[in-house]
Structure 1
Amino acid sequence: MKKVFCIGELLIDFVAENQGKDLSKAKEFSKKAGGAPANVACAISKLGGDSFFVGAVGDDPFGTFLLRILENEKVDISLAQKCDTFTTLAFVSIDEDGERDFVFSRGADKELTYDSSLKSKFENSILHFGAATALLGGTLEETYSRYLFDGLTKNAFISFDPNYRVDLWKNKEDVFIRKCHSFIEKSHLCKFSLEEAQLLSGKENLEDACKFFHEMGTQIIVVTLGSEGTLLSTSNFYKTIPSIKVTPKDTTGAGDAFIGCLLQQLAENSKIEDVLENEYLLSNMVARANKAGAITTENFGAIESLPTVQLLDS
């Protein structure tokens, strides 16, 4: 089984209690572990995969709490860093449809520094880049790019999720698009939401968007469409894979559960390139990942809602 390195942010989500989407009306918050790459690492581990988290937290009680959560989920945290900057925080509200509103207070995640010793560990592995905060500057952005280069030189399979957050890129969407393109063109697999696919391609039509991304260089494109399932596109086929029916309570982490489940399945294959040519196998992998994402929405909180193998197989 291939090792999966999840690179990016780990943070505290303070989730508003007993109110709708308007954060200004929130009075009580619950503390949750968050950060898309960390969620993906936990999803992989819960499904029996071998995942590593690469990111930075503060040397403070929140950072300790976060690393303990990952360790309890059997994610390898030996490559995580602690720094003097306070742990990154996000304040989240959820409306009646399970949709979220975010406000970030950025801290330690931006301080991740490059570790040259990781290059040898990336040999024939999978590298997943979750970009919610990684392209906002700080040493994290430079480190992020260097690890991408290291992964490519070590024959790693590259996965990229832009994790677009409107509040982080107001009036700077063109910068976000430009920075994402440099990762899309070098990635083997890209996972987008509908909004991300349209924004980053400049195309309203999804087939046109996928063609644009393939021409940039990415081989597998998955576009998550919520209850409608996931669009799967390769150079050989273009199809929508349906999902299961659920009543969502909280969509936090659904996309992370999806990509984590898909990467865990890919990690089980010694020759991922063979999977790319197998429509039946890849379609079944996406269907299983759809189920993982859907199950995650049935409860509150990302990590605690991620499914196990037993739950997926039931």
Structure 2
Amino acid sequence: MPDRAAPAATGDELPALRPARGGGPYNTAMALGRLGVPTAFCSRVSTDGFGEALLSRLRKDRVDTALVQRGPEPTTLAVASIGADGSAGFGFYVQGTADRLFALPPALPEGTTALSLGTCSLVLEPGASAYEALLRREAGRGVFTALDPNIRTGLIPDADAYRARFRGWLPYVGLLKLSIEDARWLAGSGDAPAESDAAVEAAIREWAAAGPGAVVCTHGGDGLSVLCQDGSRWSVPGERVEIVDTIGAGDTVNAALLHRLAAHDALSAPALAKLGEAAWRDVLGFAARAAAITCSRAGAEPPYAAELA
């Protein structure tokens, strides 16, 4: 649950903090629920007041919480500082928090068509190993999997070890979505991102060849692009809006991609491979519109289906 910081105050005053629900997979689940997609959230949530608020919002947006594990440990906090351009930087408070103790659940319910994973949950142990095991197991059962690494460098103690682990996930991933900033970091070495566009392009092609049927890259206000496993590439421009902040925009894209791919009956490797230019432009355009709406309001507040009709 991030505490979104207001713009820095002047003088000796501290910036005001406004509690807000959040977290990458959480925001993705909420966005899917708001789009009318039957969705369940699978994580571990604290029994404290923040945890109760998190679950209350999910239920309000018709997200099934039956798979949620509970524990008395505190809720993870992320303090967001908002830049002049609306971009967000985060500081995390994660020591001994409930979500880190996520345990591998039994097989997901029959009828599960997709599993979306990503961000801090795949970094913080021991839960990260449980999520990784979930990814591998469900992919093996034929569930379509989506991964958004959503890199938070302050939580990654060994950058190159994480990059190696990331590459190990790719054979189990159906759709890889990441920001261009994440792509540059993952294509680099040590704590340094890749310096050239050619290096990033080569890395994206390598990742696509390793397993994902498609790699979708977000480029901020410049829109989205997709590289398919057969080498096809398409892009759409971003939607122009007055940006309040960018919190939750990438998570909204995750949900919008899954929602629109489902509309094209493309939540499987063979079906994804058959999507052509028109279908991909529709999918990417829908995601761009959804993300723009999220950026137009404070905090992670993804749109409802009616707002995208």
TM-score under structure 1 length normalisation = 0.88
Match of 1:262 in 2: 257
RMSD: 2.0
Amino acid at match of 1:16: A
Would you say 1:35 and 2:23 are equivalent positions? yes
Match of 2:186 in 1: 200
Contact preservation (8 Å) 1:122, 1:156: no
Amino acid at match of 2:158: K
The alpha carbon displacement at 1:266 in A equals 2.0
The alpha carbon displacement at 1:271 in A equals 4.8
The alpha carbon displacement at 1:133 in A equals 3.4
SS at match of 1:132: helix
Q: What is the 5 A alignment of 1:136-147?
A: 136-138=124-126, 140-147=127-134
The alpha carbon displacement at 1:232 in A equals 0.8
Aligned partner of 1:306 among 298, 302, 307: 302
SS at match of 1:159: strand
Q: Are the structure 2 counterparts of residues 211 and 122 from structure 1 closer, same or farther at C-alpha, using a change threshold of 3 Å?
A: farther
Amino acid at match of 1:300: A
The alpha carbon displacement at 1:270 in A equals 4.1
SS at match of 1:252: coil
Would you say 1:115 and 2:105 are equivalent positions? yes
Amino acid at match of 1:167: G
Among the aligned pairs, what percent are the same residue?
A: 27
SS at match of 1:244: coil
Match of 2:294 in 1: 296
Q: What is the 5 A alignment of 1:230-241?
A: 230-234=224-228, 235-241=230-236
What do the CA deviations read for 1:224-279 (whole angstroms, capped 9, x no partner)? 00111011110241122112111211100001111111111223344533243222
Would you say 1:209 and 2:195 are equivalent positions? no
Would you say 1:227 and 2:221 are equivalent positions? yes
Would you say 1:96 and 2:84 are equivalent positions? yes
Contact preservation (8 Å) 1:49, 1:264: yes
Q: Are the structure 2 counterparts of residues 32 and 120 from structure 1 closer, same or farther at C-alpha, using a change threshold of 3 Å?
A: closer
Contact preservation (8 Å) 1:232, 1:241: no
Greater Cα shift, 220-229 or 207-216:
207-216
Match of 2:191 in 1: none
TM-score under structure 2 length normalisation = 0.89
Aligned partner of 1:274 among 271, 274, 282: 271
Q: Which has the higher contact order (CA 8 A, sep 6+)?
A: 1
**Count of equivalent residues:** 294
The alpha carbon displacement at 1:286 in A equals 0.9
The whole-number CA distance in structure 2 between the counterparts of 1:75 and 1:217 is 29
The whole-number CA distance in structure 1 between the counterparts of 2:112 and 2:177 is 21
SS at match of 2:74: coil
Match of 2:153 in 1: 166
The alpha carbon displacement at 1:144 in A equals 0.6
The alpha carbon displacement at 1:311 in A equals 1.3
Aligned partner of 1:187 among 150, 173, 178: 173
Aligned structure 1 segments of 4 or more residues deviating by more than 4 angstroms: none
The alpha carbon displacement at 1:287 in A equals 0.8
SS at match of 2:289: helix
In structure 1, stretches of 5+ residues that fail to align are: 1-11
Aligned partner of 2:4 among 12, 15, 19: 15
Aligned partner of 1:44 among 32, 49, 61: 32
Amino acid at match of 1:197: A
The alpha carbon displacement at 1:167 in A equals 1.8
Contact preservation (8 Å) 2:180, 2:219: yes
In structure 2, stretches of 5+ residues that fail to align are: 189-193
Aligned partner of 1:157 among 139, 144, 148: 144
